[in-house]
Amino acid sequence: MFKIVKTVFMLIMILVGLVIIFASYHLYKGFKSGDITSYFMKYAAKSIVDRTKLSPTQVEYLDAGDFESLVKDIEQNITQEQIDCFTNSVGDERAKELVIDKNPTPQEILKLSKCL
């Protein structure tokens, strides 16, 4: 029994160590870039947004970290594919509500980010 507890404890400690290394690496990269907030925003956006569904201009905005221009461009140049994905993600009724009040929940934002 003690051997199993010891093994489980070691696995947990290894995972904690890996998480610390991962976090340290990204903190280092953020500090090295000069603006840690901007670094983490770019990293999060690049890992969530599907670049294949963006226009070349939108990809440039994403790479530059110009999220305000990206949002404005997406508002003006939304494709039918993105609209269909949006409707399938949240359902017809909720999609109509979101068009009116524009107040999605955090879970809906994650779902809808796959449509961009």
- Statement: the pTM of the whole predicted model exceeds 0.75: no
Q: What is the pLDDT of residues 11-33, one digit of tens each?
A: 999 999 999 998 888 888 877 87
- The answer to whether 43 touches 105, Cβ cutoff 8 Å, is no
Q: Which residues contact 85 (CB under 8 A, 6 or more apart)?
A: 53, 114, 115
- Residues 36-52 pLDDT 10s: 777 777 777 777 777 77
Question: CA nearest 106: which of 90, 84, 93?
Answer: 90
Domain boundaries, the chain: 1-34
DSSP string across 59-101: HHHHHHT-HHHHHHHHHHS--HHHHHHHHHHH-HHHHHHHHHH
- Mean pLDDT, the chain, rounded, equals 82
Task: Output 45 or 60, whichever has higher pLDDT.
Answer: 60
